[in-house]
A and B are shown apart, each in its own frame.
Chain A
Amino acid sequence: MSLLLTDLINLNLSDYTDKAIAEYIWVGGNGMDLRSKAKTLPAPVTDPSKLPKWNYDGSSTNQAPGQDSEVILYPQAIFKDPFRRGNNILVMCDTYTPAGEPIPTNKRNAAAKIFSHPDVAAEEPWYGIEQEYTLLQKNVQWPLGWPVGGYPGPQGPYYCGIGADKAWGRDVVDAHYKACLYAGINISGINGEVMPGQWEFQVGPSIGISAADELWVARYILERITELAGVVVSFDPKPIPGDWNGAGAHTNFSTKSMRKEGGYEVIKKAIDKLGLRHKEHIAAYGEGNERRLTGRHETANINTFKWGVADRGASIRVGRDTHKEGKGYFEDRRPASNMDPYVVTSMVAETTILWKP
């Protein structure tokens, strides 16, 4: 029976029809739940502005009342669909009322305004986001590979580790890497993390708003893959309390000025400004981050702002290369794994480029 099912799933429709399937993706009512549904297009489309707007039942995702439930989807970015392949596409959308106002959970709209500001556009802000996540067993709320009712040996052997006793879930990670490359996402690498069952992928460098579009679609592809694998993905910033690392979304950032000769001074000024707005940033860097930013496990305490070269216990880390060459980028280590990249990327740009103390 299963042989025929995969034959059908893998049918290459380009042999029979010009039609293409577009999976429209949006962020749901709790800000982290991804939703999607598909529609047929008469022909392949590669330009998002040529895709039709669509709508969905917002009362089923906590984004609209029942008596006025239509929420409108505006297509913003297209990626190749690694699951349906052929000419089929994934479409990242954001959400509006029928009157054209962004609904409250739409964080992309405000971010797009910041990235369209001429001063920001001129600085060509680049982002590299390191998304950490934990794989959980489907039937119990416990990480993949961990004995139910117990714990694996302490952290040490798992970071970039190999072997059946150290690396759990590599299939998911490797399938995700190739699927994202296929889709056209700028995925730059993967590694096994310090806590067993935890992994990381990096997206970037991407410019402006596209960094967040790509990260959201990469998260979507990841959760679709864990669905295939019968495993659950968690973006909780501290899935297991105790002597186990949390999960973050370190955000690497640079502007044109930082990448040029003399950039290191620009970087230091930018870091100073980020320090002056530490509380505001922290408030926007993900729910539950206080369980993760303790000052241990390669984090800085949530109430402390400090930066350092090659210092993994700092809020912001500057790489040795950047320090040596006098130009480059810095890494904001504060965002939690469940941060909204539209919020974080635009806020970092706003504080460092537009805001004045």
Chain B
Amino acid sequence: MALLSDLVNLNLSDTTEKIIAEYIWIGGSGMDLRSKARTLPGRVDDPAKLPKWNYDGSSTGQAPGEDSEVILYPQAIFKDPFRRGNNILVMCDAYTPGGEPIPTNKRFEASKIFSNPTVIAEEPWYGIEQEYTLLQKEVNWPIGWPVGGFPGPQGPYYCGIGADKAFGRDIVDSHYKACLYAGINISGINGEVMPGQWEFQVGPVVGIGAGDQLWVARYILERITEIAGVVVSFDPKPIQGDWNGAGAHTNYSTKSMRADGGYQVIKKAIEKMGLRHKEHIAAYGEGNERRLTGKHETADINTFCWGVANRGASIRVGRDTEKEGKGYFEDRRPASNMDPYVVTSMIAQTTILWNP
């Protein structure tokens, strides 16, 4: 097997100018990531210089068999941590041959919102806290949990260490370095309250880049779990009962919020969010009602409330922000399986463009 890894790790830059580009897109379910690779004649750093491509949409639930081509438009480039060298990962979105975004393409609408001059002027920053659960490959049960049973109750696991408290750190640590290598703005990681559950954060990233980076970070994570022989789940409530769910808390600020007097801007923005609570919740991930119960550090799904340092609120404002009179706020409602293109653009739209 040592020789197989010699080949996987071959540094081609010594023998050829050619590079390998892995094109990534989101499949028909809205959460299934797909990718395939192609050879390019030389190094490319600008997505606008990458060729469009296409794939068989009839195999991903995105096109009928007799007219199956779906077109991939390259949108963002990252270094490939698996192939390294000059090889790249390319985040794409999906269009019909006629140039229309297909229904599952959420990036297109988000991009329109982020191109609005009023939104651009506000330089919206996002920090997304992606939680996820690692499951054993052969049974639908978290790693480290005894099959047919449960670990001890929550308490020791949050940021814990030790073979009896932290399960899967290899994956988390290799993911952290792989994302940094790739050029993703990963800002941290921690073990979560439920054992086998972890979190990484991406940000701060401006505008549409937040969605691109989070999707590619998810891709890298699932490629790593593939290598580790473990399954990653983005279900918002993987285990019923007295076990935490998994969210994707989205931290947000605009130029006005970050400037002196920003706290007033933040309060106005939060009010507008409250007036559109139902619309946001509908777009914040499937199955979220199983997670937003009012327990386990969530607010009930039918309630909108906000507070300083309140982890039981829909929106939490940090003590620093309150003290300095400017900063950001944390929308705690999005589920771990939310689409970041939808969530980030919706928050910008509601707080910057929408008027009650």
Task: Give the Cβ gap from A248 to chain B, nearest Cβ, in Å.
Answer: 13
Nearest-neighbor residue (CB-CB) of A229 within chain B: B4
Quick one: which of A83, A166, A189, A308 has the most chain B CB within 10 A? A189
Interface with A: B13-21, B149-157, B177-185, which one? B13-21
Residue-by-residue, is A174-197 near B (CB-CB < 8 Å gives 1, otherwise 0)? 111111011000011111101000
B282 interface residue per 8 A CB criterion: no
Q: What's the least CB distance linking B101 to chain A, in Å?
A: 17
User: CB distance A194 to B8 under 8 Å?
Assistant: no
Q: Which chain A residues border B223 with CB–CB below 8 Å?
A: 162-163
Tell me, yes or no, whether B229 is within 8 Å of chain A by CB. Answer: yes
Q: Which of B2, B16, B39, B225 contacts A188 (CB 8 A)?
A: B39
Indicate if A165 sits at the interface (CB-CB under 8 A). yes
B1-40 interface bits toward A, Cβ cutoff 8 Å, 1 = contact, 0 = none: 1111111101010011010100000010000111111110
Stretch among B65-73, B254-262, B288-296 lining the A interface = B65-73
Contact B12 A312 (CB under 8 A): no
Least CB separation from A173: chain B residue: B37
Q: Which of A78-97 contact B (CB under 8 A)?
A: 80, 82-83
Q: A164–B97 contact, CB under 8 A? A: no
Decide if A162 touches B219 in the complex (CB within 8 Å). Answer: yes
Roughly how many angstroms separate A83 CA and B6 CA in the complex, as a whole number?
9
For window 294-329 of A, CB contacts with B under 8 Å fall at 298, 308, 310-313, 319-320, 324
Kindly provide the distance from the CB of B223 to the nearest chain A CB, expressed in whole angstroms.
6
Is A170 in contact with chain B by the CB < 8 A criterion? yes
B7 touches A82 (CB 8 A): yes
Are B39 and A175 within 8 A (Cβ)?
no
Question: When the two chains form the complex, which single residue of B15, B37, B229 contacts A191, counting CB atoms closer than 8 Å?
Answer: B37
Q: Which chain B positions have C-beta within 8 A of A181?
A: 12, 15-16, 18, 20, 39
Name the residue on B nearest A319 (C-beta). B69
A10 at the interface (CB under 8 A from B): yes
Chain A: minimal CB distance from B68 (Å): 5
CB distance from B21 to the nearest CB of A (A): 9
B38 and A162 within 8 A (CB): no
Contacting pair B16 A228 (CB below 8 A): no
B302 within 8 A of A: no
Q: Is the C-beta of A6 less than 8 angstroms from some C-beta in chain B?
A: yes
Contacts of B54 on A, CB cut-off 8 Å? 319-320
Q: Please measure, in the bound complex, the distance between the C-alpha atom of A177 and the C-alpha atom of B232, giving whole angstroms.
A: 26
Determine how close the nearest CB of chain A comes to the CB of B139; give it in whole angstroms: 11
Q: Is there a chain B Cβ closer than 8 Å to A44's Cβ?
A: no
Q: Is A156 on the interface with B (CB-CB < 8 A)?
A: yes
Does B122 touch A at the CB level, under 8 Å? no
Q: Which of A175, A189, A225, A319 contacts B36 (CB 8 A)?
A: A189
- Is B228 on the interface with A (CB-CB < 8 A)? yes
Q: Are B35 and A160 neighbours in the complex by a CB distance under 8 Å?
A: yes
Residue in chain A with minimal CB distance to B59: A159
Are B67 and A163 in contact, with the CB atoms below 8 A?
no
Q: Say yes or no: A170 contacts B226, CB within 8 Å.
A: yes
The answer to whether A164 and B59 touch across the interface, beta carbons within 8 angstroms, is no
Interface flag for B350 (CB, 8 Å): no
- 10 tightest A-B contacts by CB? A191-B36, A175-B7, A160-B34, A159-B59, A189-B38, A178-B10, A320-B97, A6-B2, A175-B8, A163-B222
Q: A176-B7, A189-B39, A310-B97 are in contact. List 7 more A-B contacts (CB 8 A).
A: A157-B32, A178-B8, A178-B20, A181-B20, A182-B16, A190-B36, A308-B66
